[in-house]
Chain A
Amino acid sequence: MSLSKYLLSRLGQALIVLWAAFTLSFLLLQMMPGDAVLIKYMGGDFALTPEQLANIRQIYGSDNPPLQRYLSALTSTLTGDFGYSIDAGVRVTALLADNILPTFRLAGLGFLAAVVLSFTLAFLSYFSPFSWLRRVITMLPSLFVAIPVFWLGIMLIQMFSFRLRLVPVINPGPWVGLILPIATLAVPISAPIAQILMRNIDDVMTRPFVAVARAKGASLNWVFWKHVLANALLPVLTICGMLFGELLAGAVVAETVFGLNGIGRLTEAAVATLDVAVLQAVVLLSAATFVTINLVVDLLYPLLDPRLRKNAKAV
């Protein structure tokens, strides 16, 4: 298969997955018994007559038969229109546009911090002169995955804001306020990366070419940077692609705990008010991001590993 053909088929697969994700989320979210119109206008100050409710439903198009709603939702989604948020009364795209950058910044920096943390752990465990230290470090990732993210966030606030008074709680400034959320996000994300990295390093260390290099007199340091690291890195790339869901879930929780604006807070509010259009848009957006990231990761492989490039040509 030539490269362009391979690219096209992967792209086609990605599009099918996205269409199916749209259909699935539409089916799930349109099967609900109550709807956001009812939630918003049912009681209290907003109480409306049934006629007015029906009128609102007509405006939002939520009284049409299901198939018609599905088709119109599909065509408008294809043109980049996710409809209106019933709770906020504005376009979903406007809400997303307002909230996507802070989340992107938080998730991006959190991921970066996770990569730095996991590589630090792997280096420490490799170069550690004491076996007990090495054992402690290799146990850390298992601990990291067992910690609830929201709890970690609260504990960090408690420790660094209230006990040590290092990070102010009130009006911390845009970047200082991100320190603790980033740390909260980095811990659970770093665990699988560190685990894979450590396992790969151990694995590569047992290969014959390492023994040959050592026998020729290369130091552990030399072997690590020249031979082991490059060989241990590739599987890390795969796990990075898979981690997007965790990263997004972590961002949702971190935004809630630290009171930051973003997609996470938007999602949380959408669930509380049954704002289906917003939730579906978030689901689609994250599915699209997941598919794109994994597509890019797959395409990066042959660029990074010369062996795969040769094989791809041969096939």
Chain B
Amino acid sequence: MGVAEEPRTGVSAGSRTAEWWRPVLEQIKGIGPATWLSYAVLILAVLWALFPGLFTAYDAITGTPGQQLRAPSLAHFFGTDALGRDVFSRVVHGSVHSLSGAFVATAVGLVVGTALGLLSGSVGGVVDEIVMRIVDVLLSIPGLLFALSIIILLGFGTLNASIAVGAAAIAAFARLMRSEVIRVRSSDYVEAAIGSGGKLSSVLWRHVLPNSLTSVVAFSALQFGSAILQLSTLSFLGYGAPPPTPEWGLLVAEGRNYVATAWWLTAAPGLVVVIVVLAANQVSKSIRGRA
């Protein structure tokens, strides 16, 4: 905790690049093997999303006739489904839907929630009271039900489901940001900055925001993993991407009809979700551990 109390203004002139890289290098030095592996998993998932053609030669939407319901083999790592489609290829091509959805969800929660928390924590008084009561109300509604209410409002689809998941996370982000602002605000250097004539808005931007960033970033990573889970749940229930989109939750839902005969149809995509979520959670833990 001692390190986090030091002011990090981040905008020092002159040797700016050197200043910027030193803490990053120090961070990298102390990373354990589990965290390295987690970063590798996340990078691989992002590469799947960006360049699926590099990882699989099979088409994700049209199957090969005569290749239906093959068990996993060297030719088909995750086997094939009832239409002869390569499941590994569908998982690789599906990562773009799951990852971008989780990214949108996290961004919605992060931007709106952080803004609310920053407002609430820095202005205080009546504004703080009102915002925090709204946050209490949002937290009293179970996340899934709140997301479903938003989906009823916006309609089905990947983007709408992502916005719904993000909206359900706003309250948690707001609460975290507010407590961070209040913690940083009571520190000596912020008092000194205000005492030496800094405007509230510029003090917020230059001192409070950068210093509360670590825990917000850690929470975002956690939220990213949880968004993947929630999005896959929504598309499993049928409110997300429509078939034949190879979204991960939808893959599990489609494989469900073959549990008795083709275990790989549900097992493989679900396992990929578990591994990616584990990786995101581990990264979040490692960032938080360094705060």
A residues with a Cβ closer than 8 A to B are: 16-18, 20-21, 24-25, 28-29, 31-32, 142-143, 145-151, 154-155, 157-158, 162, 244-246, 248-249, 252-253, 256, 267-268, 271-272, 274, 276, 279, 282-283, 286-287, 290-291
Partner of A21, one of B141, B267, B274: B141
Which among A149, A157, A245 is the interface contact of B143 at CB below 8 angstroms?
A245
The closest CB in chain A to the CB of B279 belongs to A146
Which of B152, B225, B229, B238 gathers the greatest number of chain A CB atoms within 10 Å? B152
Sort chain B's interface into a size bin: 35 or more
Q: Which 10 A-B pairs have the closest CB atoms?
A: A245-B142, A151-B270, A249-B144, A146-B277, A20-B137, A146-B278, A287-B140, A158-B259, A150-B236, A248-B142
Q: Among the listed B142, B237, B253, B266, which residue makes an inter-chain contact with A158, where contact means beta carbons less than 8 Å apart?
A: B266
CB-CB under 8 A from A147, the residues of chain B are 270, 274
List, in ascending order, chain B residues with CB within 8 A of A24's CB: 137-138, 141
Could you tell me if A268 and B252 are in contact, using CB atoms closer than 8 angstroms? no
Nearest-Cβ distance from residue B249 to partner chain A, whole angstroms: 7
CA distance A149 to B225 in the complex (A): 14
Does chain A have a CB within 8 A of B133? yes
Query: Does B136 reach chain A (CB closer than 8 Å)?
Result: yes
If over half of A's interface residues share one DSSP class (helix, strand or loop), that class is named, otherwise mixed; here it is helix
Q: Give which listed residue, B134, B145, B150, B256, contacts A248 with CB less than 8 A.
A: B145
**Apart from A143-B274, A162-B259, A244-B142, 8 more pairs, CB < 8 Å:** A28-B153, A146-B281, A147-B270, A150-B253, A158-B266, A253-B237, A279-B149, A283-B149
Per-residue contact bits, chain B 252-291, to A (CB 8 Å; 1 contact, 0 not) = 1101100110010011001001100110011000000000
Q: Which chain A positions have C-beta within 8 A of B143?
A: 245, 249
Chain B, Cβ-Cβ closest to A280: B149
Complex Cα spacing A158 to B252, Å: 13
Chain A residues near B263 (CB-CB < 8 A): 158
B267 to chain A, nearest CB (A): 7
Can you give 29 A-B contacts (C-beta < 8 A)?
A: A17-B133, A17-B137, A24-B137, A24-B138, A24-B141, A25-B149, A28-B153, A29-B149, A31-B153, A142-B282, A145-B277, A145-B281, A148-B249, A149-B233, A151-B252, A154-B256, A154-B266, A249-B145, A249-B233, A253-B236, A253-B237, A256-B237, A267-B148, A271-B151, A279-B149, A282-B145, A283-B145, A290-B141, A291-B140
